[in-house]
Amino acid sequence: MLKCRLEEILEARGMKQKFLSDKLGVTRNTISSIVRGSKTDIETAMRISQILGVRVEDIWSVDDQ
């Protein structure tokens, strides 16, 4: 199972989900779904990591529990 750290990364940078949704050209609901654990395609994951200046692995990691 993948663990998503997107919400905590956004909070640490003082960014809102709306900022990310505007940059990606998707709805805020889409970002909210990703934060809650919905799967996303690799292109979107890579674009999110580029916007935030982090690696994809910094946002999503394998949760062995």
Which burial class, exposed, middle or buried, applies to 31 when counting CB atoms under 10 A from its CB (0-12, 13-18, 19+)? Answer: buried
3-state secondary structure of 47: helix
pLDDT digits (tens, 9 = 90+) for 3-61: 999 999 999 999 999 999 999 999 999 999 999 989 999 999 999 999 999 999 999 99
Q: Is the pLDDT of residue 64 over 80?
A: no
- Structure-block tokens of residue 47: 């674009």
Q: Is the pLDDT of residue 2 over 90?
A: no
0.95 exceeded by pTM: no
The CATH code for residues 2-62 is 1.10.260.40
**What are the extents of the domains in the chain?**
2-62
Predicted confidence band of residue 65 (pLDDT cuts 50, 70, 90): low
Q: Is the pLDDT of residue 62 over 90?
A: no
